[in-house]
Amino acid sequence: MLEKDIETILITQEEIHNRCEKLGKELTAAYKNTQPLVVGVLKGAIPFMADIVRQMDTYIELDFMDVSSYGDATVSSGEVKIVKDLDTNVKGRDMLIVEDIIDSGRTLRYLVDLFKYRQANSVAIVTLLDKPKGRVVDIEADYIGFDVPDEFVVGYGLDFAEQYRNLPYVGVLKPNIYETKV
Ligand code: PRP
Ligand code: MN
Ligand code: MG
């Protein structure tokens, strides 16, 4: 049903699965001697987080943070605010932030700075998607699933007006969807 709103599929379910297996092996090796706190950034990171942590065959803990940088718009407002903070004290911890996408970089720049300020021992980033053309502030992920072009992508956690997060793949919406909802 949802597929009728999709112009093109950019990354298939199978491609995502295979990439998660590969990244999971790298992360398992990277964190085999520590018990990282794996932080999912609500809400977009949820599907990717669920898949990536099940490919990490080592001891980890999970926590969540909700920060919002933009609402129902396709363009960032530039503001970052904490909606839900971590439950865990991060001082001295090794942290792995899980994201669905890095666009302007504001969300992750803010989180990395916050966790360093709270004296985490290390802070790394794994993101399903990287959109290098969108970057406004300086930040790079340590582990990247796929690069995406400078288009508004949805699915696998990524929303348009809170919809389409549950698509099992990443795609581009048909233009008429924006025209009717914005
Ligand atoms: C989106 C996305 C990233 C962030 C990336 O989240 O999931 O978290 O924006 O953009 P940036 O690099 O320009 O900061 P959003 O704030 O829309 O919240 P959501 O995850 O609940 O959709
Ligand atoms: Mn998000
Ligand atoms: Mg969003």
pLDDT computed for residue 74 by the predictor:
54
Work out the mean pLDDT of the chain and round it to a whole number: 94
Query: pLDDT tens-digit profile of 110-145?
Result: 999 999 999 999 999 999 999 999 999 999 999 999
What is the separation, in whole angstroms, between the first and last Cα of the chain? 21
The tokens 């969300």 sit on which residue? 107
CATH of 13-69+77-153, one of 1.10.1040.10, 2.60.40.1190, 3.40.50.2020, 3.40.50.20: 3.40.50.2020
Pocket test of ligand 1: the residue of 72, 103, 138, 167 to mutate, having most ligand atoms within 8 Å of its CB, is 103
Residue 51 has pLDDT above 60, yes or no: yes
> What average pLDDT does range 55-65 have in this prediction?
98
- Distance between CA atoms of 104 and 136, rounded to whole angstroms? 5
Tokens of 56: 């990490």
Among 165, 163, 167, 166, which Cα is nearest to 177's?
A: 163
Contact status, residue 38 vs residue 98, Cβ threshold 8 Å: yes
The tokens 């379910």 sit on which residue? 13
Query: Any idea which ligand is nearest the CA of 137?
Result: 1
DSSP strands (E only) in the chain: 6-11, 37-42, 61-68, 81-84, 94-102, 122-130, 143-147, 153-154, 170-173
Residue 50 has pLDDT above 60, yes or no: yes
> What average pLDDT does range 52-81 have in this prediction?
82
Residue 80 has pLDDT above 60, yes or no: yes
The domain ranges of the chain are: 13-69+77-153
- Tell how far the Cα of 158 is from the centroid of ligand 2, in angstroms: 8
24 lines ligand 1 (CB under 6 A): no
pLDDT computed for residue 181 by the predictor:
59
- Tell how far the Cα of 45 is from the centroid of ligand 2, in angstroms: 6
40 lines ligand 1 (CB under 6 A): no
> What average pLDDT does range 11-34 have in this prediction?
98
DSSP strands (E only) in 12-93: 37-42, 61-68, 81-84
- Distance between CA atoms of 13 and 166, rounded to whole angstroms? 12
Query: pLDDT tens-digit profile of 83-118?
Result: 999 999 999 999 999 999 999 999 999 999 999 999
Among 23, 31, 17, 24, which Cα is nearest to 121's?
A: 31
- Classify strands 94-102 and 6-11 as parallel, antiparallel or unpaired: unpaired
Among 170, 145, 137, which Cα is nearest to 26's?
A: 145
Residue 70 has pLDDT above 70, yes or no: no
130 lines ligand 1 (CB under 6 A): no
Using 50, 70 and 90 to split pLDDT, how confident is the model at 78? low
CA distances from 136 to 28, 103, 108 (A): 31, 8, 12
